[in-house]
A and B are shown apart, each in its own frame.
Chain A
Amino acid sequence: MNMPFFKYGMFGDEVSLIVAFVIGIGFGFILERAGFGSGKKLAAQFYFTDMTVLKVMFTAILTSMLGVYYLSVIGWMDLSMVYLTPTNIMPQIVGGLLLGFGFVIGGYCPGTSCVSASTGRIDGMVYLLGVVFGIFGFGEIFPMVSGFYNSTFMGQVTLPQFFNLPYGVVVFLVVLMAVGAFVAAEWGEKNMAKKAGAKK
């Protein structure tokens, strides 16, 4: 097996756009199935009343991480051919915080707002306008912020490389952490439900 197929030239750019569209349909379908078209459900994550965001995100990361890892272990997939966004640690930390603010203020992230808008949510549509405005604003001030944007460059670096641990060990640690988070989430939801019940 020569994975990723596209990198081995099994099909060209035109076909890759069809693949993109089909994968996007799957992505949007699942996001909506999970309840991510609803800003209320997404925001509930940050009030510990509904931990669906955490559960879905970490289950997805585990599934995909384990899949990629085992496909590379059995030699079907060349992990070095999978695109890795280079790390610029400071802009990514600041960007992450801004994104977190935007998430709890706006109720969505860019992907989920598409699903929200396409299922009729007005706030999702307005949020998308906000995203477009924000990106446009960033683009216009880019010449002024490009210094910070390109600062603290670390290149393509993974957690195993950074902590000097074998890849499999980090995979195992992520699984442990995720399972811990699931247990905490289930416990937290039950606890919050009890509290809400007591208040009534």
Chain B
Amino acid sequence: MSTLVQTSETEKVKSVSVPKPYWNPYLSGIGLGLVLLLSFVIMGRGLGASGAFSSGIAFVLEKIAPAHTNANNFYKEYLGDGTKSPLKDWLVFEVLGVFVGGFISGALGGRIKKTIERGPNITDRKRLMFAFIGGALMGIGAKLARGCTSGQALTGGSVLNLGSWAFMMCVFAGAYALAYFMRRQWL
């Protein structure tokens, strides 16, 4: 019985599309490490992600409420001295590239799919609610820690930055600590 169900399921998947398998994790890791190394060699800085969104937010807020935004030291850091647009920023362009690169890889691998990633025991609605809450927590955490997984863990990690290593350990600790309570979403 179970084999019967399995075959019909695999056939269904095949008839829709055949996404190519992901790369071997160690190979992906070496690739990612080389991209990061290239960034160090060419630019003297590593990768990032969350900073680009801060620049975008500061840019938009400055247009809507200039006085309020300029009075805030957090936004001010991204606005700079006003001589150039906060969007003409290294991380902003890098993150635009991330969207494009991800799309290219997904398209080549047949993995572009309008879907919601979730386990079988949770509704789409709830999953999207959790996605938003998780994103918001991540946004706050990344600002408090002065970087996210790419800016702190990967980049700071490979130049042996003390704060980055403490940060990285805490990311794993936090995620594992909460994993049990989130199991219905994923398992």
Contact = CB atoms under 8 A, between A and B. Distances in A.
Contacts of B90: 16-17, 20
Interface SS, B side: helix
A23 B100 CA distance: 11
Listed residue (B57, B135, B164, B167) with the most chain A CB atoms within 10 angstroms of its CB = B135
B163 A103 contact: no
A24 B49 CA distance: 10
B97 A25 contact: yes
B82 interface: no
Contacts, number: 543
A74 interface: no
Interface string B136-154: 1111111111111111111
Contacts of B135: 102, 106, 108, 113, 126-134
Contact of B134 (A28, A106, A115): A106
Given A4-B43, A24-B97, A130 B131 contact: yes
Contacts of B128: 122-123, 126
11 contacts: A24-B96, A25-B97, A28-B98, A40-B186, A47-B186, A63-B29, A93-B167, A98-B141, A101-B177, A130-B138, A158-B161
A94 to B, nearest CB: 6
A23 B111 CA distance: 22
B72 A30 contact: no
A52 B25 contact: yes
A20 B53 contact: no
Nearest to B2: A200
